[in-house]
Amino acid sequence: MNVLVIGRGGREHAICWTLSQAKSVSRVFCAPGNAGIANTATRVDIDESSQELLVQFARENDIALTIVGPEQPLAEGIVDRFLSEGLTIFGPSKEAAIIEGSKSYAKDLMKKYNVPTAAYETFTDAESAKEYILKHGAPIVIKADGLAAGKGVVVAMSQKEAMDAIEDMLIHQQFGSSSSQIVIEEFLEGEEFSLMALVHQDKIIPLEIAQDHKRAYDGDKGPNTGGMGAYSPVAHLPENLTKHAMKEILQPVVDAMITEGRPFTGVLYAGLILTSEGPKVIEFNARFGDPETQVVLPRMNSDLAQLILKLLQGETEEVDWDPRPIAGVVLAAEGYPGNYQKGIKLHEFTQDHEFIFHAGTELEEGQLVSTGGRVLLAARMGKTIGQAQKNVYAYLKEKKADGLYYRKDIAHRAISSL
């Protein structure tokens, strides 16, 4: 069958690569894709938000399944548009995508249905928010309510940092209308991890756990980013963690969405933290995570397209996983997540395709160049997580990466716990 992937980043590259390995898939298309995706899928020059053109393409090219990568087209209702044309698409409706599109909605839902998460309050007024900070102190977490491309969260370790975040979001509208309302949460102590699941109404297929590295610099220092690397599995966490999270978090939330008249179909991403009281929710996303997808999907032996199509018919099955751990390291433009240069020449990576997932690249006059803050992700497997880490850094050591930087300690928590 023919499959269409919508998006242009590293997550979509990993989805396209995985689908290209699937026996049931004859052709993979990606709209609009990037320079690296062109190695595993046919690029389609249509923007993610061009719903009518995407629908037309799917009709004309006999697309049996469409998978939506990024959050923006989901929030714009692309799934509803495809379904209205009788086209098969995997992703949440506009009404269900609110679980990512509004942090306050997700928090209120969890409170109503007793799903474990951090204590919180919602604010539209800066002075009230500042009073809350003075009362509760730091560390504390400030979140823009709406979509902010993964950048709308400040983990404030001091009261000043929290006050600055409130001003940036509510007064200076740092994220436009997405930060006209903010959520302030208690700071939770524990080990963070990501659990993604394929969902159709009340049916759930959990994927393997991964651990992301949000901070820009080694030792988990510096500003929050969209993610500087990840690894999977996370073997030092309790063995029954997925089952526990499914029972206490994912199933209750999926059931709650049905009760609320917003049944969820697609990838439900749970950003979780293992506290002394058990796992709690940090955030939900309504799509595959980035960069977690780049280290989870390469370990999948099952046919992703068939898993999704069977799920859409109400059937679930266990996923077959490669037991070998994988570590992935993001190469970012210097200055990211702040101001960064575009157009960095990437000739060192032109010929490399094995587990090199492109996030922000393009071909200009035949030259591979950067177009975003997160540029590439290099991943490698190993018999152990330590070996996987050695393999990926050995690869990167051989590369000249002028204008790029990367963390040197991805998977450090897993290795220090051995």
pLDDT per residue, tens digit, the chain (418 aa), is 999 999 999 999 999 999 999 999 999 999 999 999 999 999 999 999 999 999 999 999 999 999 999 999 999 999 999 999 999 999 999 999 999 999 999 999 999 999 999 999 999 999 999 999 999 999 999 999 998 877 788 899 999 999 999 999 999 999 999 999 999 999 999 999 999 999 999 999 999 999 999 999 999 999 889 899 999 999 999 989 999 999 999 999 999 999 999 999 999 999 999 999 999 999 999 999 999 999 999 999 999 999 999 999 999 999 999 999 999 999 999 999 999 999 999 999 988 788 999 999 999 998 999 999 999 999 999 999 999 999 999 999 999 889 999 999 999 999 987 7
Q: Are residues 197 and 284 in the same domain?
A: yes
Task: Give residue 41's domain range.
Answer: 2-93
Q: Are residues 280 and 345 in the same domain?
A: no
Cα dihedral 372, 377, 378, 383 in deg (nearest 10)? 170
Indicate whether 281 belongs to any domain.
Answer: yes
Q: Are residues 182 and 202 in the same domain?
A: no
Q: Are strands 191-200 and 326-333 parallel, antiparallel or unpaired?
A: unpaired
199: its two tokens: 């969902």
Indicate whether 98 belongs to any domain.
Answer: no
> Which pLDDT score is estimated for 401?
86
Q: Are residues 294 and 250 in the same domain?
A: yes
* Residue pLDDT, tens place only, 12-49: 999 999 999 999 999 999 999 999 999 999 999 999 99
Helices 159-166 and 126-136 meet at what angle, rounded to 10? 170
Q: Are residues 34 and 9 in the same domain?
A: yes
DSSP string, 254-290: HHHHHHTT---EEEEEEEEEEETTEEEEEEEESS--T
Measured CA distances, 390 to 237, 259, 381, 396 (Å): 21, 48, 9, 10
Distance CA(119)–CA(22), nearest Å, equals 43
Indicate the number of domains in the chain.
4
Beta strands in 63-109 (DSSP E): 63-68, 89-90
281: its two tokens: 């929710």
* Residue pLDDT, tens place only, 378-410: 999 999 999 999 999 999 999 988 999 999 999
For the purposes of burial, counting CB atoms within 10 Å of the CB of 38, is it exposed (0-12), middle (13-18) or buried (19 or more)?
Answer: middle
Q: Are residues 282 and 217 in the same domain?
A: yes
Among candidate residues 269, 285, 312, the one where a domain is terminated: 312
Indicate whether 108 belongs to any domain.
Answer: no
CATH number, domain containing residue 129:
3.30.1490.20
Among candidate residues 156, 186, 216, the one where a domain is terminated: 186
